[in-house]
Amino acid sequence: MRDPKELQKWMTPDTSEPRVNRLWSRVRESGEKKAPMWRWAAASAIAASLAVAAFALWPRPLAVGSQLEASAEGTVGRFSDGSRVEVGRSSSVRLVSDTKGEVRVELERGSATFEVSKRPDRRFVVHADGVEVRVVGTRFTVTRDSQGVTVSVERGIVEVARAATTVRLGAGQRWAEAEVQAAAEAQPEPEPSLAEPEPELPSVAPAPPVPAPEPAAPPRPVRTQKGVHRAAPAARAPVTPPAAAAQTPATGGGSDLVERPGAPTAAQLFQEALAARREGRSAHAALTFDRFLRDFPYDSRAALAAFELGRLRMDQLSDVKGATQALEQALKLAPDGTFAEDALSRLVRAYDELGSKGACARYREQYLARFPNGPYARSVSARCAQ
Amino acid sequence: MPLPDSRATNVVPLHRSGELPDATLVLEAREGQQWAREALFRRHVKRIMALAFRLMPEEDPEDLAHDVFVKALGSLDTLANPAAFGPWLSAVTVTLIKMKLRKKRWLRRIGMAKSEELDAESLMSRDAPEGVRIALGDLYKAAEKLGEEERIALLLQRIEGLELQQIAEQMHLSLATVKRRIARAEAALAEVASDA
């Protein structure tokens, strides 16, 4: 039997000072928020009651061909894959087909918000008056009225196809058919291109609220990232990219710098995400970090939140592509952050798994240049094989 | 040894806490002194991260150490002998890892987690000699085939270098049970070595 001390020597983790400091920050924050046992017991009892109530009230999945119609009040429907739809007042949706590879829904009138379960092998398509919205896993609203169709994305990415053109929308972006038409009429030549650059997630500014469907007046409250507030009638460009939105911060409307009553603070969101992560509720933790980044992109914790989001997506949610976006954002926000070494090594692994050899090699070189004797140097060197 | 005048100043430079024994720091931490909690953390964190990493290298040691310290610092009142904080912390680590391994096994069984082979090579230092590489590779291959108690007992013995009695204390098992676990683990290890 080999001397254990000899084996230990070659099998040691990175315990560098920055890492220890970062870990202490996490431990301290978690410790401060630790609730007494009786609170946990009370919370468990409430959660159990809610679970029973939710089971009793949980809507049955919609059948193919069935219509979900809301009159004065909105209603909620569920699809067989777990996706949900909130149908606005005076609105109607119909489930056209539900197959192994695709769920297809028709928005017949009004407005509906979809929360789509992440299923890479299954497309979720919403059809509205000649416009098709294709999605893998996200939350977005489609509105159909006399002005045309409007699509607003809260998180994730969707594709909007109209005739022969397709637009890609990221979190916080919005597309309005009426504005596309107006832009096309104003500039007949050249043919307006709807192709958008890859959105940089998360957005630094949420989309403006979506106008309510006609004939509903006044505009109904629309839920946005910041809570509930009135729809704004201001005209916008066909697609509002984050970069453009960032040029006009703190001017009201969609600015993420405006605190609205009832909206969670940065500290609350961050703590909620940490707590969810600690309790193993990875999906909720990721959503909360994601929301934190969209609502508070300039907060001092944004870089750490992006890094934690990347780790969750990579380790717990099998969302390697999403992980690369979050990790890259973390490095962009804090290139010399305490997590830079971890983030770079993860990017190498992620791009290797995704088959993106170029990006993989680029991050590998960065890692080896900055951390030639780092704990991941060996595994990083072995990646990105052609 | 006199206590630092924490209540008067509310701030104690961390280097002074280095002179205090664990027992004093535990008593101060129980009183809500943040500096004592931090001192305990900094004194033991590297050892705990290393222990966690070697027992469950497929997980991030930072995450494991985080969970260990949150649990330990939150339940200092249950520590009967404050002077034994170090071994108690190791036992908390072992228990937490046992629970995580058990959870992982159940998730795999019901198809909610992927069964991934542990790449021991990627976890070792680049300069590890060939003999060490083979020994560690065999240990983790055998560990993959074992239940959580056999796995932990084997790694505590072969890598951490603990005696059977120490393993029994850290795992809250009887000495006889530990001997049975080790015997089963050694059989698996011999099988792996003969396959190689």
Number of domains in chain A: 2
Q: Is the pLDDT of residue B28 over 70?
A: yes
One domain, residues B129 and B50: no
Q: Is the pLDDT of residue A225 over 50?
A: no
Using alpha carbons, select from B116, B104, B115, B100 the residue that is nearest to residue B55. Answer: B100
Q: Does B54 touch chain A if contact means CB atoms closer than 8 Å? A: yes
Number of domains in chain B: 2
Q: What is the pLDDT of residue A315?
A: 85
Q: Does B122 touch chain A if contact means CB atoms closer than 8 Å? A: yes
CATH of the domain at B177: 1.10.10.10
Domain boundary among A176, A197, A216: A176
Task: Provide the whole-model pTM.
Answer: 0.45
E strands along A218-347, which residues? 222-224, 227-229
Residue A242 within any structural domain of the chain: no
Residue A25 within any structural domain of the chain: no
CATH of the domain at B93: 1.10.1740.10
Residues from chain B contacting residue A11 (CB–CB below 8 Å): 53-54, 57, 123-125, 136, 159
CATH of the domain at A166: 2.60.120.1440
CA distance B112 to chain A (A): 11
pLDDT in tens, A187-208: 544 443 343 333 333 333 334 4
For B192, residues 6+ apart whose C-beta sits below 8 A from its C-beta are B138, B141, B142, B145
- A–B interface: beta-carbon pairs under 8 A: 98
Rounded CA-CA distance A328/A343 in Å is 8
One domain, residues B122 and B107: no
E strands along A146-266, which residues? 148-155, 158-162, 165-169, 174-176, 222-224, 227-229
Q: What is the pLDDT of residue A57?
A: 63
Domain boundary among B116, B137, B168: B116
Rounded CA-CA distance B147/A45 in Å is 33
**A26, A27, A348: which to substitute to probe chain B, counting the most B Cβ within 10 Å?**
A27
Residue A151 within any structural domain of the chain: yes
Domain boundary among B116, B135, B151: B116
**B44, B123, B158: which to substitute to probe chain A, counting the most A Cβ within 10 Å?**
B123
Rounded CA-CA distance B71/A279 in Å is 12
Backbone angles phi, psi at B146, to 5 degrees: -100, 160
Q: Does B98 touch chain A if contact means CB atoms closer than 8 Å? A: no
Q: Is B68 helix (H, G, I), strand (E, B) or coil?
A: helix
Domain boundary among A176, A204, A225: A176
Question: What was the ipTM of the complex prediction?
Answer: 0.85
Domain enclosing residue B133, as ranges: 118-196
Residue B4 within any structural domain of the chain: no
Using alpha carbons, select from A283, A253, A289 the residue that is nearest to residue A270. Answer: A289
Residue B11 within any structural domain of the chain: no
One domain, residues B149 and B172: yes
Cβ distance of A28 and B34 shorter than 8 Å: yes
CATH of the domain at A333: 1.25.40.10
One domain, residues B66 and B136: no
Q: Does B107 touch chain A if contact means CB atoms closer than 8 Å? A: no
Cβ distance of B45 and A15 shorter than 8 Å: yes
Residue A85 within any structural domain of the chain: yes
Looking at every residue in chain B, the average pLDDT score rounds to 86
Domain enclosing residue A372, as ranges: 262-381
Residue A386 within any structural domain of the chain: no
